[in-house]
Structure 1
């Protein structure tokens, strides 16, 4: 199959993350507003072009005060850096529908390579006759590498917010007509 443009369906796509809190639990969140562009042969992603642009102000951790802090200068500084972006640079097929997708992630004007494990979940026809594909992705990054360094020491040792951020993506896309 040839490389095709796929329109990411935001109603069926999620961008989620989790980070350790107080060294004992995890806080989860999501970004609601994003744009994505995917040009790919879903049966062989090795030649795909994958781009994401995420509105950092759309962060949601189900806590208004925490979200306000995350949007502020200590973290995303959404007034100065309203977007974070990802552009794929290298894709390696691992087998069984699994790929390693490496790309340039930019947060707060800092760009670093990150790698996600991406799994092709399947392809089919929607009830309206459109060709649809699904992918799952996961990866980990160090938030300090992107200038998100705010933290507070705990009396018991350790810090309030972990550096390691786990990212999970569920993506559904429709073949462009």
Structure 2
């Protein structure tokens, strides 16, 4: 399947989660709705590409009162910035069987150049991509006002993805 053209996201098997620390305690959340367009061939990395689009209003930290707070202006401001995106600019062979996926990550209207170390494997008719991307939330203005201070909610947030695609029929 890696030799096929554009692949289709398997939404039932794919996940995008984040881990943040509040008062030193890890908090996990997930995005319930996102889309990915991946064209990947390990033998043709210069022609390979990836694009992810996340519906920020679907973030779930496990309690609606917190979900509402995070959708608000100080955090994701989902009314003004409903989507976060990642668009690759290059995919190269990395260390230890990983691929370095460089691109632009845009959250809350702020864009940063990032490099994600991702793994790839074929699983039957599916392609599976896993990766971890640490970011600084303040670089994207996530947590404004009183929340900008990192003594309560740490600046580092870890984005984890497990993307499963199948060839388009």
Same fold at TM > 0.5: yes
CA distance, structure 2, for counterparts of residue 62 and residue 45 of structure 1? 38
Pairwise CA RMSD of aligned residues? Answer: 1.9
Larger fraction in strand: 1
Measured in 1, the distance between the counterparts of 2:10 and 2:137 equals 27
Aligned length: 166
SS in 2 for 1:97: coil
How far apart in 1 are the matches of 2:96 and 2:47?
17
Which blocks of at least 5 consecutive residues in structure 1 are unaligned?
Answer: 125-130
Question: Residues 76-115 of structure 1, C-alpha deviation per residue, up to 9 Å, x if partnerless?
Answer: 1111111111100122202553111111011111111122
1:36-93, Cα deviation, whole Å (9 max, x unpaired) = 1111215654531101111000000102111111100001111111111110012220
Distance 2:12 2:32 in 1: 10
Partner of 2:84: 84
Whether the 8 Å contact between 1:94 and 1:100 is mirrored in structure 2 is: yes
Greater CA radius of gyration, 1 or 2? 1
Instruction: Give ranges in structure 2 of 5+ residues lacking alignment.
Output: none
Match in the other structure for 2:167: 175
* Pairing 1:84-103 to 2, within 5 Å after superposition: 84-103=84-103
Alignment correspondent of 1:120: 120
- Cα distance in 2 for partners of 1:42, 1:10 equals 23
